[in-house]
Amino acid sequence: MLKDALRITEIFCSLQGETTRMGLPTVFVRLTGCPLRCGYCDSAYAFTGGETQSFQTILDKIASFNTHHICITGGEPLAQKGVHELMRLLCDAGYSLSLETSGALSIADVDPRVSRILDIKTPGSGELSKMHWENLDYLSKQDEVKFVLCDRSDYEWARNLIHERRLETLAPVLMSPVWETLQPADLAAWVLKDHLPVRMQVQLHKILWGERPGV
């Protein structure tokens, strides 16, 4: 890997499909590589391949979309150490920046101007053992916690964790059903019945365009 460069799978502009920024025009920078293999992963095409691009090339591509909101995603973007410098450059340039991370790697050194979307892996993901639980200590109100739920068992596990750790006091909490696995209406009913302090979300981009790269 060249200095001042990252391995990139794709850079594209779309509507943000998740988080509290859902619906906002956003440039996505998808980094290549991930140490996890979640059973429901919808971006396995980013595990390998990609293209080495200099920071300047990445910045130029982002600028060409003339969009204020940027999302760094993967794969697992923190698996490439150089992503920290890219995030600093983007923040310095005045972009509103979010980072989608699996929770398996430390977020301690992420630029404080970045909104960190921390995915807490459930038992159904198959990767619960990879969680770096110390990340909860680094969260702030500008960050978000996300659970991707496979079934009722995952929901109950997440519900208990939310109560035990009072996650809603650390950052906004999101719950998503795995696409075409857990019915959104079922998850909605559970959240309402339990009066959970969470925001339920569905993947807007998949509703609009289906499950495919580049959206």
Binding site, annotated residues for substrate: 15-17, 30, 73
Q: Map tokens 């920024």 to a residue.
A: 21
User: Residue 208 carries which side chain, given as an amino acid letter?
Assistant: L
Q: Give how far the C-alpha of residue 127 lies from the chain's centroid of Cα atoms, to the nearest Å.
A: 15
In a 3-state reduction of DSSP, which class is residue 131?
coil
For every residue of 115-127, DSSP letters joined together read EEEEEEPPGGGT-
Q: Which residues are annotated as a binding site?
A: 15-17, 30, 34, 38, 40-43, 73, 75
Maximal C-alpha separation, the chain: 52
Radius of gyration (C-alpha) of the chain in whole angstroms? 17
Q: How far is CA 58 from the centre of its chain?
A: 19
Q: Which residues lie below 8 Å from residue 72, measured CB to CB, with a gap of 6+?
A: 29, 31, 83, 86, 87, 97, 98, 99, 100, 114
Binding site, annotated residues for Mg(2+): 43
The bridge status of strand 25-31 relative to strand 5-15 is antiparallel
Cα separation of 26 and 172, whole Å?
20
User: Residue positions in the annotated binding site for S-adenosyl-L-methionine?
Assistant: 40-42, 75
